Structure 1
Amino acid sequence: MTNALPVTLDDVHDAAARLKGVAHRTPVLRSRTLDALVGAEVFVKCENFQRVGAFKFRGAYNAVSRLSPAQLAKGIAAYSSGNHAQAVALAARELGSSAVIVMPEDTPRLKREATAGYGAEIVTYDRYTGDRVAIGQALAAERGLALIPPYEHPHVIAGQGTAALELIEETGELDALVVPVGGGGLIAGSATAAKGLLPEITVVGVEPEAGDDTKRSLEAGERVAVPVPRTIADGLASEIPGELTFSINNRLVDDVVVVSDDEIRAAMRLAFERMKIVVEPSGAVPLAALLAGRLPEVPRRIGVVISGGNIDVGRFAELVAA
């Protein structure tokens, strides 16, 4: 049994049942312009329309909803640059609990205000000098809180996989699935769902070129750390893949490619101008990879997960005008 994966397709189906009627079943959009530019049929799963504006609600709610009444009464801790923070805060509120969130000082204002708006207490730190995991663990231990990490948790991973599950249920056969990669939870869940349903599908992750820790790790066959990434894709600024997520991605992910900040901006512009959707930089990386021709081969039918749309109007205008 040592070869068994820590998260299975059954776990993703179980998460989907738990999320039914709670999480949004987000739309899958098409664009003839996008198809023509890529040279394939592209199916865009729009998690920017998910609750809290990102896929993170899926994993957070799946994990928080499994806590005991006694633990919910004590409360929940999490650490996040923004979207997981909002997701845990909302899940806690929905389930009658409370949340304390460790967030970087430079978290975008929109994400910070939204997290507070869901009722969470916010504790800040410097992402370039502080260790958010250590801070979160110490806080949880001190206050007796349940710690729900952003990706190193099987229930979180299974919940994130429901986005790919829905995409494949709606589109049928896909030749490839392209997914953003930060800590690796979304692609781990997505790959679990996709390979479980379509064993021949190619799963490709996309990272900002300044934060290519998963790409380097998959090439090395072990977890490799990089300096704290400085990129407009703040949600993907990971220094090293998670142990749990890497154990899955090392077996199920076929390739990881990288994109530049300028390519991310171009993808955000195209999504806005041609598809009429607002996508945050982290969510735009799969589109950027397709538009920049990063896939070694262009499959006929490609599924893309847009992971989120949490960006304030000033920052969005600044980035797409650059």
Structure 2
Amino acid sequence: MAELSTCLPLTRESTLKAHELIKPFIHRTPVLTSRALNEIASNPRAQENGDRQPAKPVIRLWFKCENLQRIGAFKARGAFYAIERLKQDPSFSESGGMEKGVVGFSAGEKTSQLRGAMEPKSYFAQNSSETTAAKIVAEKGARLVLPFNHPDIILGQATAVLELQEQADNLDAIIAPCSGGGLLAGTALSCDGTSVRVFGAEPEFEGADDCRRGFLTGERITSVNTSTIADGLMGVVGEIPWSIIYERKLVDGMFAVSEEQILEATRLILERLKVVVEPAAAVPLAVALYNEEFRRLVEEEAGEKGWDLGLILSGGNVSAEGLAKLFGMSFPAISYGNFIHSSTVTSKSIMDIKSAQNGVPSGLHPTLIETDTKNKNRARLIIGIDFGTTSSKAAFTLLSSDEVHEGIVTEWPGAGTHTKQDIPTTLYYDSYQNVAGWGLEPADALGPLGYPKPGVQKVDWFKLHLTAPETAHPLPPGKSDIDVIADYLLKMRVSVHAQLQKTLCDAFDREQDSIHYYLVVPAIWNDAAKAAIRVAATQAGLLHTGNNKNQLTLITGPRAAAMFYVKTGFWELETRNTSLIVDCGGGFVDLTAYEVKEKPFKLTECTPSSGDLCGSTDLNRNFTKILRAKIKKIGLRPGRIFAKCTIDFENRIKVEFRNNGQKWHIDVGVEADFPEADIKDGYMTFTNEEILQCFTPVVNRISELVLNQISSIQGGGRQLQRILFIGGFGTSEYLFNEIKQHIPSHLQSQVTRLMNSSSATVKGAVMAGIEGHQAGGL
């Protein structure tokens, strides 16, 4: 690239000059708006924390479509500017640069653009191979073009936001995605000296939010190892972008979002804007829609006037097959010999595909679903239910002769216009032991502050009564564990049927009396617990009531997850290669090792299942002990202090804990200071060490279970291919990283957590139903 000493200063004026230079080579990409997305952004999210109302900002969105840029991404701007600057450098041409060419090591799209940016030779080191690029530089004498950590790249990327400010001249703020930081730093420069505020957006999965974490600590993070679905945002912020973003204070804040939120934002862009984007491009929208901290900032600072918010859709480099795998779309049943091939359930479909070309689509696993054509006229409705200790999910598929309808149930009572894949496993009983509310729909069970009204009992963790009643919360008087579980499953059944009635219409009416339910249960449950859940399911109307011919199959969480990952092609079918599933849920942690055989398909347990009651509720119990000890010191009744702290621990602290020295402050609404209980100015404080005490025994127990399974696998002469964490608790960054540190170093690279890890079990349960139906045994 051009020598740093020859670069223009990193100012807004320089970005204007850069724009003039590259105008002939780039597209002036359009800006889109959407009334529907504005309404979604301006409505409060479903309330998850009874202590505080959700933010209700007023947001008007403006989308800068860099996915329509040359090469399908904003990176063309930086590449063109870098090359044009080189062409202006006399030393480049005098040293034979036009013949020796350039080399880049961005992940494909930028390096391919260099070929169109200059006439001479271009060399490309794909997949971010900086080492290969350096080798080409040494052998060929080519000039290296950096992907983001150079002033020319930053100034080139800034031109996208200069255009956006011209196209939407009333902007209050802009959110740009952040990886290496070139685009975000350029955005900040282009807005410097204006009234437009700048924010950055990152995935939070496996520490991909390095810039956000750097903001909190004041130091640039230098390494990240993540497998986020937003794979365009897996890099680390460079030194030069960091100097603009943080040291010069040109970026007002960084925000991060989950994999599920990124996926949902991608779906909304496809459905509402009708443009194709890669997941990384959807991260800014995910922040605007789902990050409560950002949304509250808009509400508090903008009030009723609201913000006109610009979002950079950074790229659209994703194939149809990639989208299919991302969303688990149903490539329709495609005739192929004597079989019908179809993709299987992974998540809510984003579009209804009615036709496809002959043959199996590229990228689909060759052994997904095989339907014997002699049974193809038999329709079957399969519903999977993951009845969890703290939250529950449901999925479905309708198989028929010519198409497959499938999805995750995302419309639940009480969620309003928001979609949610899981709902709290919670019931509210009135003084007559009638159900007054459940899940996201507490109805009239709660008072204005979000706490149960007098005479109303909140009941949760009731699944634990089947195997460990001493760890569970009290049941309502006169109600057995089976009664309470049946009440909850009945509510789930009614809600699921209501969505399927709307989704499947007449097909549901035809099949609702012959549904096959697959219910996910812990692998360590004994026969008594399994028998009890069957009784509860029957009592809830899932089985043999009236004239229906419904069936129920119990499937363990690890087996369901294994089925999901095999059938969606995430696992290779290699004999003697073993995968260990670690299902970390709210109440239970289950471990099972599997070996997969392809012909005929068979999923075999390699070691006896193991597990314990060391799920995320164990953290709550440990926290409660610390909290009660604090409250006892001041002689106050637990009451509201206890409720506020336990809610905040559940919704915030145990999710965000990283063991980084952070102190946690909870608004407990107490006017007086109580230093002995760490209460000051109305806030109770918990130290990093206190929260660590909640995690340590749980992490140690799970590590012990994992190590025991590894020993059994290796003792049987098998090769351990991967250790896969799933379940809601399995998404904890701290838990995941700590477990990796506890196992032998040569196996740490095998520890992984794939996309959809929290919902793999319910999707896999449906796939097990499909597999059984295909075999003709149902």
TM-score surpassing 0.5? yes
Residue 119 of structure 1 corresponds to none
Provide the rounded CA distance (Å) in 2 between the counterparts of 1:71 and 1:10: 29
Q: Which has the higher contact order (CA 8 A, sep 6+)?
A: 1
Cα deviation code 1:115-138 (max 9, x no counterpart): xxxxxxxxxxxx7xxxx3344234
Give the letter for the 2:79 counterpart.
A
| 177-186 or 10-19, which deviates more | 10-19
Which secondary structure state, in structure 1, belongs to the residue aligned with residue 275 of structure 2?
coil
Residue 79 of structure 1 corresponds to 105
Residue 776 of structure 2 corresponds to none
Provide the rounded CA distance (Å) in 2 between the counterparts of 1:97 and 1:281: 34
Provide the rounded CA distance (Å) in 1 between the counterparts of 2:223 and 2:312: 25
Cα deviation code 1:23-61 (max 9, x no counterpart): 000000000011111121111000000000000000000
Provide the rounded CA distance (Å) in 1 between the counterparts of 2:10 and 2:98: 24
Q: Output aligned runs, 1:193-208, within 5 Å.
A: 193-196=190-193, 198=194, 200-208=195-203
- Residue of structure 2 aligned with 1:45, choices 42, 47, 64: 64
Provide the rounded CA distance (Å) in 2 between the counterparts of 1:137 and 1:173: 45
Does structure 1 retain, via aligned residues, the 8 Å contact 2:224–2:234?
A: no
Cα distance change on mapping 1:156 and 1:188 into 2, 3 Å: same
Residue 25 of structure 1 corresponds to 28
- Residue of structure 2 aligned with 1:146, choices 123, 143, 146: 143
Shift of 1:216: 1.5
Cα deviation code 1:87-109 (max 9, x no counterpart): 33332xxx2022222222xxxxx
- 1:224 matched to 2:221? The reply is yes
Provide the rounded CA distance (Å) in 2 between the counterparts of 1:98 and 1:291: 45
Cα deviation code 1:131-162 (max 9, x no counterpart): x3344234313321111111011111101000
Q: Output aligned runs, 1:33-182, within 5 Å.
A: 33-39=36-42, 40-68=59-87, 69=93, 70-91=96-117, 95-104=118-127, 132-182=129-179
Cα distance change on mapping 1:263 and 1:192 into 2, 3 Å: same
Q: Percent identity?
A: 40
Provide the rounded CA distance (Å) in 1 between the counterparts of 2:112 and 2:33: 28
Residue 394 of structure 2 corresponds to none
Which secondary structure state, in structure 1, belongs to the residue aligned with residue 297 of structure 2?
coil
Provide the rounded CA distance (Å) in 1 between the counterparts of 2:161 and 2:21: 16
Residue 279 of structure 1 corresponds to 277
Shift of 1:19: 1.5
Provide the rounded CA distance (Å) in 1 between the counterparts of 2:35 and 2:212: 31
Provide the rounded CA distance (Å) in 2 between the counterparts of 1:133 and 1:248: 24
Provide the rounded CA distance (Å) in 2 between the counterparts of 1:214 and 1:64: 28
Give the letter for the 1:60 counterpart.
A
Does structure 2 retain, via aligned residues, the 8 Å contact 1:38–1:293?
A: no
Which secondary structure state, in structure 2, belongs to the residue aligned with residue 253 of structure 1?
coil
Shift of 1:245: 0.8
Provide the rounded CA distance (Å) in 2 between the counterparts of 1:97 and 1:222: 41
Does structure 2 retain, via aligned residues, the 8 Å contact 1:23–1:50?
A: yes
Provide the rounded CA distance (Å) in 2 between the counterparts of 1:31 and 1:311: 22
Shift of 1:201: 2.3
Provide the rounded CA distance (Å) in 2 between the counterparts of 1:150 and 1:319: 26
RMSD: 1.7
Residue 122 of structure 1 corresponds to none
Flag the structure with higher helix content: 1
Cα deviation code 1:63-87 (max 9, x no counterpart): 0112143323211111112332233
Provide the rounded CA distance (Å) in 2 between the counterparts of 1:99 and 1:218: 37
Provide the rounded CA distance (Å) in 2 between the counterparts of 1:236 and 1:147: 22
Does structure 2 retain, via aligned residues, the 8 Å contact 1:157–1:185?
A: yes
| 133-142 or 185-194, which deviates more | 133-142
Does structure 2 retain, via aligned residues, the 8 Å contact 1:264–1:285?
A: yes
Give the letter for the 2:98 counterpart.
L
Which secondary structure state, in structure 1, belongs to the residue aligned with residue 126 of structure 2?
strand
Which secondary structure state, in structure 2, belongs to the residue aligned with residue 41 of structure 1?
strand
Does structure 2 retain, via aligned residues, the 8 Å contact 1:187–1:249?
A: yes
Which secondary structure state, in structure 1, belongs to the residue aligned with residue 86 of structure 2?
coil
Does structure 2 retain, via aligned residues, the 8 Å contact 1:59–1:160?
A: yes
- 1:9 matched to 2:9? The reply is no
Residue 297 of structure 1 corresponds to 297
Which secondary structure state, in structure 2, belongs to the residue aligned with residue 158 of structure 1?
helix
Shift of 1:236: 0.8
Q: Output aligned runs, 1:245-264, within 5 Å.
A: 245-250=241-246, 251=248, 252-264=250-262
Residue 320 of structure 2 corresponds to 313
Provide the rounded CA distance (Å) in 2 between the counterparts of 1:228 and 1:271: 28
Give the letter for the 1:208 counterpart.
P
Residue 124 of structure 1 corresponds to none
Shift of 1:218: 2.1
Cα deviation code 1:267-296 (max 9, x no counterpart): 111011111000101111111111213414
Give the letter for the 1:36 counterpart.
E
Structure 1 residue ranges without an equivalent (≥5): 105-126
Greater Rg by CA = 2
Shift of 1:6: 4.7
Does structure 1 retain, via aligned residues, the 8 Å contact 2:64–2:312?
A: yes
Give the letter for the 2:217 counterpart.
A
Residue 117 of structure 1 corresponds to none
Does structure 2 retain, via aligned residues, the 8 Å contact 1:268–1:320?
A: no
Which secondary structure state, in structure 2, belongs to the residue aligned with residue 304 of structure 1?
strand
Provide the rounded CA distance (Å) in 1 between the counterparts of 2:13 and 2:240: 18
Does structure 2 retain, via aligned residues, the 8 Å contact 1:38–1:290?
A: yes
Residue 241 of structure 1 corresponds to 237
Which secondary structure state, in structure 2, belongs to the residue aligned with residue 67 of structure 1?
helix
Shift of 1:260: 1.5
Which secondary structure state, in structure 1, belongs to the residue aligned with residue 188 of structure 2?
helix
Cα distance change on mapping 1:293 and 1:258 into 2, 3 Å: closer
Provide the rounded CA distance (Å) in 1 between the counterparts of 2:77 and 2:209: 25
Cα distance change on mapping 1:23 and 1:149 into 2, 3 Å: same
Cα deviation code 1:166-187 (max 9, x no counterpart): 0001111311100010000000
Cα distance change on mapping 1:195 and 1:320 into 2, 3 Å: farther
Structure 2 residue ranges without an equivalent (≥5): 1-7, 43-58, 88-92, 299-305, 329-346, 348-778
Does structure 2 retain, via aligned residues, the 8 Å contact 1:188–1:248?
A: yes
